[in-house]
A and B are shown apart, each in its own frame.
Chain A
Amino acid sequence: MKSKSTLVTYLTRLDPSFKRLLFITFLIFSIMASLRPSSFLTSRNMISMAFQFPEMGILALAISIAFISGGMDLSLVGISNLSGILGGYLMLGLINDQTGPIGIFCAISVSILASLCVGVLCGVLNGQLISRLNISPILATLGTMQLFTGIALILTKGSALIGFPQEFSFFGQGSVWLIPVPLIIFLVTAFGLHHILSKTYLGHSCYYIGTNQKAAKFAGIPIAKTLLKTYMTSGLLAALAGIIMMSRVNSAKADFGSSYTMQSILVAVLGGVSPLGGKGKVAGVIIAVLALQFLSSGFGMLRMSQYAKEFVWGFLLVLLVALNILWDGRKAR
């Protein structure tokens, strides 16, 4: 009995916009489940969805950090692709026909590490442009997005990178005790990020800088260092998402996922992260990415085109934002 009342108390005390998001997600789930119960409510579908949403979820988390700090990162998909491609080249270079299982394991580990490092380096570039040279984040990441994608295009000449070892697909397609690996990676990432954002100095500084940078500066918060770390983290997460994407489709391409940028912004904003900075929680982003996934899978089952999904998604976004702001008395601009 006691646990039930605390759950109820917890639910009632939640932020109203979060409650609305939960409600809408639940609604979407119910609608999809009732329209196609035989295909939607199956464990096969649940598992399939659990394989698909983590990459978007990680990207959404990455862009959320940038949003919270008061900036934006449009280059994330470029970072995903570039880091994936560079790691992929390394992996292909290290493995030949005679490599044994230990060799393959080492090659994969090294190339994953390399990809993550590339992601961090890209993040460093973004961070320096934004914090040291004071270039506006939209502009800086627009430029770096073109830059990263451009480098990736030059390296691959536009074609896809294929031929990865079978073992590599573990990250995007494998499971541990029936739990999909991407989901595990996502949960660990989300938990880690939640910890950083809510319990560490770095995380709190992020929120402060996003709310009012000048005040944060006068409060003694090291702006340049914090922003640098923020964009480095975004880059790292983007590279992680890139690895999962690459492992799921077993290839790496320079312009893969071009619509992911917009989608991740939608997910982040729907999840309660304000693009103006200072607001947003990991929990919101998780629910929002689930909502997107339910919609996406449900529409697939209803044989609706991706454009119908786009339409509904846009409609939902406008509706939710309008409701949030109108009902909360225009507090949240």
Chain B
Amino acid sequence: MRKKVRSHEFYLLLIFIVFSLFVGLLNPAFYSFGNLFKILKSSVEMGLLAICFMLVLILGGIDMSFPAIAVASMYMTVSFLNTLGVDFPLFVPFLLAGGIGAVFGAINGILIGILELPTLIITLGTMSLIHGGLVVFVGKSWISNLPAALVEFSKANIIQWTSSAGDVQGLHASVLILVGIAIMVGLILKYTWFGRSMFAIGGNLEVAKRHGIPVARIRFLVFVAVGALGGIAGLLHGTLVRMANPFDIIGTELNVIAAVVLGGVSLSGGSGTIQGTMLGVLLINIVNNSLILIGMPSYWQKFFIGAIVIVSTLFTANRGKLVRVNKTRKGFMVI
């Protein structure tokens, strides 16, 4: 099992390197720092959403509602703060978005964690509920003036320079947020009792229960956390595109799912690493970015992503048996 996981990340890294070399050969502009930082910046939103999806996947469920939670938290935060009209410091919108996301996550948490309803179906339901509710009850217009703090943040580059073409390039601050959260989640998953219990629950629910793990409580908390994270991801999205559009983010779920599964997180739960997920996200973003650089028309993108997903899964160890047999061994994986 351990070898299986390690070899998956290894192959992923291999594909990553090969693809980067290939693209670099076709267009050396790929290798510039400016481009690299651009890729990183575009990976932030998908990266955070991927962490959301990964956490629920490890728990053994499939969450389809995270984009809806993201966009709803973002839109509600922006419209609320705009109505208040006061200039808030940066942490306020993030706190608010995280809070709203957490509330939505709690709904999922109660339905799935406590009532033990099946995740896929319920999250499909909550996705429609939240998104439909957002448009019907909150609003459907695009908000283009965001609170001042957010607008400033969208320009916050840690390192920045002006390229010869005259445009500003640099490493954006939001990348730090992604890295920070990724490290934190990775540490929690690997070194805390909470994290290991998550793997246990996803690996074999019955065994976890009999071990005395408070399954309902952990599931509830994970969904709340995922909701909060989704809210932050949504707010970052809105900040980076400088607009609150209630129809954004929905529809990107399949890309996020592809990234996570590419990263080696098992679809039946109980295994997965944050490194794999981040690699998966980066890979998908590199594909998108490099296709643009090569000058490939945008309608080739879907084709390529599909091909890469299929080819990568052919080569990596993510092809398990369809049958969930003998999951006890995956229970306490040390990643």
Contacts and interface: CB of A to CB of B under 8 A. Distances in A.
Interface residues of B, number: 50
A213 B314 contact: no
B320 A136 contact: yes
B128 A317 contact: yes
B246 to A, nearest CB: 9
A262 B131 CA distance: 13
Interface residues of A, number: 57
Contacts of A325: 115-118
A292 B119 CA distance: 22
A143 B258 contact: yes
Given A147-B307, A150-B303, A153-B299, A317 B125 contact: yes
Given A70-B322, A150-B306, A153-B299, A139 B313 contact: yes
B136 A322 contact: no
A297 B26 CA distance: 53
A154 interface: yes
A313 B130 CA distance: 11
A135 B321 CA distance: 8
Interface string A273-288: 0011000000000000
B256 to A, nearest CB: 11
B319 interface: yes
A4 B297 CA distance: 64
Given A147-B306, A311-B132, A139 B325 contact: no
Contacts of B118: 275-276, 321, 325, 333
A314 B132 contact: yes
Interface of B (DSSP majority class):
helix
B135 interface: yes
A144 interface: yes
Interface of A (DSSP majority class):
helix
Interface stretch (A45-53, A92-100, A301-309): A301-309
A212 B323 contact: yes
Contact of B267 (A139, A143, A265, A322): A139
B110 to A, nearest CB: 10
Interface in A61-88: 70-71, 74
Given A136-B320, A139-B313, A143-B310, A318 B129 contact: yes
Given A143-B309, A311-B136, A154 B129 contact: no
Contacts of A133: 314, 319
Contact of A136 (B251, B267, B304): B267
A153 B131 CA distance: 28
Contacts of A136: 261, 267, 313, 318-320, 322
11 contacts: A129-B310, A135-B318, A136-B320, A136-B322, A139-B318, A140-B310, A213-B323, A262-B124, A307-B134, A307-B140, A322-B111
Given A147-B302, A321-B125, 9 more contacts: A139-B267, A142-B306, A144-B310, A146-B302, A154-B299, A214-B323, A269-B121, A308-B136, A310-B128
